[in-house]
Amino acid sequence: MNATDRVMQSYGRCCASPAFFDDFYRHFLASSPAVREKFVNTDMAAQKLLLRQGILNLVMHARGMPDTKLRALGCTHARTAMDIRPELYDLWLEALLKTIVEHDKQADAATLQGWREVLVKGISVIKAGYNA
């Protein structure tokens, strides 16, 4: 199985695990006051549904889909919009990997390495919109 297939299957198992998105936001919000501050007025139930699609966009991009959706996220997360500073994506990535390890009991080292590559690639597209 290739790396993006492994990641796709792993994401399927994560989405089937009921507390996956709750645990992700628990870890992400715990990672820094700068993260918590961004979500003070957010409906977190709605946000969890949006992120479900957002992560799928990252995975699909790594599988060859055009970067249109990720560029749109780059616009909403840009300095002149929500102002999500680039270093916050490191916290996002580590919180997500931690949550994957907790929820996908079949995720081996190759799967986690595949995830890291998929995420880094997509995040670079979003971050490229920061100063655009």
Whole-number Å distance between alpha carbons of 89 and 97: 12
Interface mask toward ligand HEM for 40-69; x: CB under 6 A: -xx----x--xx--xx--x-----------
Compare residues 53 and 106 and give the one whose CB is closer to ligand HEM: 53
Query: Among 38, 48, 116, 121, which residue interacts with ligand HEM (rule: CB under 6 A)?
Result: 38
Q: Least distance in Å: CB of 78 to ligand HEM?
A: 10
Number of residues that bind ligand HEM (CB under 6 A): 22
Burial of residue 106 (CB within 10 Å: 0-12, 13-18, 19+) is exposed
Neighbours of 123 (CB within 10 A): 19
- Name the token pair of 120: 């880094």
How many C-beta atoms lie closer than 10 Å to residue 64's C-beta? 7
Which residues would be at the binding site for ligand HEM (CB under 6 A)?
35, 38-39, 41-42, 47, 50-51, 54-55, 58, 73, 76-77, 82, 84, 88-89, 92, 122-123, 126
